[in-house]
């Protein structure tokens, strides 16, 4: 049955149980250069700075050392 | 909505009583770095920053496949974590500014513009981004970011013009297309999202774009 990582409400547990960080990276807009990069399983992901709810910059690399579930979505 | 991501995200974040980290990407940093032109997407990244699973487009948090992937991921032993050295924003900016000595370094100008945008210094981002667009005429990313800088400084018409140029270089990019819709038709997105309108609008735009 559902573990703590299910959305919308993350109930207790998940982080404690798994040292887990879950990120919802809300993409409001995006674009590419001509040659689109591709992330590949088995390779390091690029380090990206995003913005938290308080307006601070947060880097993906700051979650190193923990398993990371990254859910990338948009409101529309 | 405008490109001020937190404004849109915060009410949703509060409503769903989120206790996880929620980040916004108003400057398309992640989509650009990961090569994404659709959402929703799911990524499982191990302790060392190595991608272990990806689902690009159509990722459903509660689907059986996603749950299975997450459970297997969490059950794996810890990955060894290599040391990495991080460069802080200030150091990074200084390095990019130093690269401006090369009048043809478009990427340095693009990165500098993005950095200043992220640090809420949109005014200072415009000049390097204008030059980046000149030097990198085929870069949809440069135009998008210059548009974002204009939007953040209140120049909506200029912003939309640049977003449309960026879209023309990257027609399949729904994230740019929807950004334009959000600016030009905010009533279709708030208080509720008009999906029927989006389908019609897309059909209309596709017809206008024709073979191009």
Q: Above 90 in pLDDT, residue A35? A: no
Closest A-chain CA to B31 = A30
- Are residues A24 and B20, on separate chains, in Cβ contact within 8 Å? yes
- What distance lies between CA A74 and its chain's CA centroid? 13
E-state strands within A28-66: 49-52, 57-59
Q: How confident is the model at residue B193 (pLDDT cuts 50, 70, 90)?
A: confident
Cα(A49)–Cα(B29) distance, rounded to whole angstroms? 7
3-state secondary structure of B164: helix
- Residues on chain B touching A9 (C-beta within 8 angstroms): 16-19
- Residues on chain B touching A53 (C-beta within 8 angstroms): 6, 9-10, 13, 22, 24
- Are residues A31 and B49, on separate chains, in Cβ contact within 8 Å? no
Q: Which of residues 22-41 of A touch B (CB under 8 A)?
A: 22-34, 36-41
Interval B140-150: pLDDT, tens: 999 999 999 99
C-alpha separations of B83 from A59, B86, B141 in Å? 16, 10, 31
Mean pLDDT of chain A: 68
- Are residues B25 and A28, on separate chains, in Cβ contact within 8 Å? yes
- Are residues A31 and B166, on separate chains, in Cβ contact within 8 Å? yes
Closest A-chain CA to B177 = A29
What are the structure tokens assigned to B24, written together?
A: 């916004």
What is the mean predicted confidence (pLDDT) over A27-46? 68
- Are residues A57 and B119, on separate chains, in Cβ contact within 8 Å? yes
Domain boundaries, chain A: 1-30+41-76
Q: How confident is the model at residue A29 (pLDDT cuts 50, 70, 90)?
A: very low
Q: What percent of chain B has pLDDT over 90?
A: 62
Closest A-chain CA to B145 = A31
Which domains are present in chain B? Answer: 42-79 (no CATH), 89-209 (1.25.40.10)
User: What pLDDT shows up at residue A23?
Assistant: 56
C-alpha separations of B103 from B67, B132, B134 in Å? 50, 10, 11
Q: Kindly provide the b/e burial profile for residues A6-30, where b requires at least 16 CB atoms within 10 angstroms of the residue's own CB.
A: beeebeeebbeebebbbbbbbbbbb
Q: What percent of chain A has pLDDT over 90?
A: 32
- Are residues A64 and B47, on separate chains, in Cβ contact within 8 Å? yes
Cα(B25)–Cα(B4) distance, rounded to whole angstroms? 9
E-state strands within chain B: 21-25, 41-45, 51-56
Helix axes B106-118, B122-135, angle to 10 degrees: 160
Given CB atoms, is A57 within the 8 Å cutoff of chain B? yes
Q: How confident is the model at residue B110 (pLDDT cuts 50, 70, 90)?
A: very high
């Amino acid at each position: 049955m559902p573990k703590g990582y299910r959305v919308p409400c993350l109930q207790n547990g998940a982080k404690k149980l798994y040292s887990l960080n879950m990120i919802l990276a809300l993409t409001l807009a995006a674009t590419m250069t001509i040659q689109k990069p591709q992330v590949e399983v088995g390779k390091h992901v690029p380090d990206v700075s995003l913005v938290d709810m308080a307006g601070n910059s947060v880097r993906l690399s700051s979650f190193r050392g923990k398993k990371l579930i990254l859910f990338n979505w948009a409101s529309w | 909505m405008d490109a001020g991501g937190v404004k849109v995200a915060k009410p949703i974040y509060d409503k769903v009583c989120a206790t996880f980290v929620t980040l916004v990407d108003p400057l398309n940093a992640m989509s650009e770095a990961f090569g994404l032109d659709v959402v929703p997407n799911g990524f499982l990244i191990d302790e060392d920053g190595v991608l272990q699973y990806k689902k690009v487009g159509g990722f459903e948090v509660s689907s059986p496949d996603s749950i299975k992937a997450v459970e297997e991921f969490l059950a794996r032993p810890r990955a060894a974590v290599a040391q990495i050295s991080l460069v802080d924003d200030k150091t990074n900016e200084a390095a990019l500014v130093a690269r401006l000595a090369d009048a043809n370094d478009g990427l340095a100008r693009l990165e500098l513009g993005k950095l200043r945008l992220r640090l809420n210094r949109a005014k200072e981002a415009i000049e390097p981004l204008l030059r980046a667009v000149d030097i990198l005429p085929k870069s949809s990313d440069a135009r998008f970011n210059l548009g974002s800088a204009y939007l953040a400084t209140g120049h909506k018409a200029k912003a939309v013009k640049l977003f449309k140029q960026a879209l023309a270089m990257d027609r399949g990019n729904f994230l740019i297309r929807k950004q334009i819709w959000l600016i030009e038709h905010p009533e279709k997105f708030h208080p509720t999202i008009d999906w029927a309108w989006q389908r019609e609008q897309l059909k209309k735009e596709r017809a206008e774009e024709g073979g191009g």
